[in-house]
Structure 1
Amino acid sequence: MGAAKRIPAIVSVVLLICAVQLLTACGRAETGQTVATEGYSVTDITGRTVHFDTPPQRIVTLSSTLDQIVLSVAPPERMVAVNMSMKDPINSNMVEVAEQVEKTIQRPSVEYIVSLHPDIVLIADWQYLELADPLRDSGLNVVVGRGPHNLAEVRDLVRLTTDAIGEHRRGDILLRKMDEKLAEIAEKVQAIPESERKSVVFLSLMST
């Protein structure tokens, strides 16, 4: 595993709050359907622009955070594999959905990812970034997102990820739900006297 950045608790909290809600709101009955029907392009944080004639139907990500975003806006049938932690109830709130994806990823190699024949590989810059160029050299479409350290960067990662897989409209819905839920939480926190508010310590096993 490559050097990883420490990811703030806010990333997991925001996605855990909204992911399952969005699956219900969007309606899983639309399985396999996507808004983007014409070719489109996305530019990732490395400045590379990737063009898609049609939305990717075989999606691979190298991060459970990206898995959560994808599975929040797209059916599991569009994912070729998920990161192993997605099927662990200790680490994931989407086990039931993740179990519908047959293959898993753990310490991925270029050869293994290529063997999955993905239409797109989504990578976050805190993990496995060193695989990006070899995967591109193998002819795969690779989109790299930034590891978020604040809410604005969480939004950027959601926007890039959902746009890359052709789910801009559902990305809008996810972002709106995030804003609504965070506003609801902020309102509840404001009602708590300062002296009664709890302190939280976030521990990460990822290297800084």
Structure 2
Amino acid sequence: MTSAFDTILLDIVSPQRIVAIGSLATYEDYSLSWQKARQVPIVLREYNLERIVALHPDVVIVPDYYSKDTVDGLRGAGIPTVVIHTDTTVEYVPQLIQRLADVVNEPKQGKKLVDIINQDLDIVKKKADRIARDDERSAIFLSTMSGYTGTGSLFDHMCTYMHIKHPPSELHYPSRIPFTDERIVEMNPDFVFVPVYREKDYRMVKQFYEDPAYSGMKAVRDKQVLPMKSAYLYTGNQYIGKVMLTIMNVVYPEL
């Protein structure tokens, strides 16, 4: 019951074992497993309780931010329902993958994905260790989901791995605070990443270059307000190490 878990499960089990999938997982720019996602016959745009019950799944996997009423409704219908804890640290991602693999009885496949992540994180660390503190550049990730990428977010924690300064944390913004125009100007990052998976998302990039309010920002002046696949920015999954390397190659091309 979340596209975040869909992306992970598609590399653990075959699409034929997934009875329905969230629509976001089928978008090419939103999920790095979109090709497998499109092999799942039923696509859900919302997780309606009656619709899920009618699918007769052997198990439903629910992130812990869903209400108790939803979980009780599924269990009351006789469907085994597993609630999975979510967190916003890089270290938690391998734990999440192994937990999901255990739920669907594929622990060995889960371990394979975890091993790949750990190898990627080793490469990230080696590259990041070459960046002196005084040479660190700053970046923000804009999200249409207010507060998704500020202080205490997964992207915030990824930045510590990549040796990228994250202005919301540097300025001690509270977590989940909206990125208003005034705050974006105050943060004045070297890079602004705009997640895209639909044509209209590119308008936000254009707006930065056309709005005089942003004209003094470093990222605007240096033409570093950049569209990036949403899949690279919403990345609490098996691709997290590769995604961090992709972002580092943009911020630190000299590496």
Superposition TM-score, scaled by structure 1 size? 0.65
Q: Which has the higher contact order (CA 8 A, sep 6+)?
A: 1
**Residue equivalent to 2:246:** none
State whether residues 23 and 44 of structure 2, in contact with CA within 8 Å, keep that contact through their aligned partners in structure 1.
Answer: yes
Structure 2: distance between partners of 1:148 and 1:174: 18
- Segment drifting more, 86-95 vs 111-120: 86-95
Q: Which runs of 4+ in 1 moved over 6 A?
A: none
Aligned counterpart for 1:76 among listed residues 15, 20, 44: 15
Q: CA deviation at 1:157?
A: 1.7
Whether 2:125 is the aligned partner of 1:192: answer no
Aligned counterpart for 1:90 among listed residues 29, 40, 43: 29
For this pair of structures, how many residues does the alignment match? 147
Whether 2:105 is the aligned partner of 1:166: answer yes
State whether residues 7 and 32 of structure 2, in contact with CA within 8 Å, keep that contact through their aligned partners in structure 1.
Answer: no
Aligned counterpart for 1:157 among listed residues 71, 96, 119: 96
Q: Which amino acid aligns with 2:27?
A: D
Q: Which amino acid aligns with 1:70?
A: L
The unaligned stretches of length 5 or more in structure 1 are 1-61
Q: Which amino acid aligns with 1:75?
A: S
Structure 2: distance between partners of 1:77 and 1:99: 11
Structure 1: distance between partners of 2:136 and 2:50: 50
State whether residues 85 and 92 of structure 1, in contact with CA within 8 Å, keep that contact through their aligned partners in structure 2.
Answer: yes
Q: Which amino acid aligns with 2:117?
A: M
Aligned counterpart for 2:82 among listed residues 130, 143, 146: 143
Higher CA-based Rg: 2
**Residue equivalent to 2:44:** 105
Whether 2:17 is the aligned partner of 1:66: answer no
Structure 1: distance between partners of 2:9 and 2:73: 23
CA gap 1:117/1:74 in 2 versus in 1, 3 angstroms:
same
State whether residues 120 and 142 of structure 1, in contact with CA within 8 Å, keep that contact through their aligned partners in structure 2.
Answer: yes
CA gap 1:200/1:171 in 2 versus in 1, 3 angstroms:
same
State whether residues 146 and 153 of structure 1, in contact with CA within 8 Å, keep that contact through their aligned partners in structure 2.
Answer: no
Whether 2:125 is the aligned partner of 1:182: answer no
After superposition, the CA RMSD in angstroms is: 1.8
Helix, strand or coil for the counterpart of 2:124? Answer: helix
Q: Which amino acid aligns with 1:170?
A: Q
CA gap 1:128/1:181 in 2 versus in 1, 3 angstroms:
farther
CA gap 1:107/1:128 in 2 versus in 1, 3 angstroms:
farther
State whether residues 123 and 129 of structure 1, in contact with CA within 8 Å, keep that contact through their aligned partners in structure 2.
Answer: no
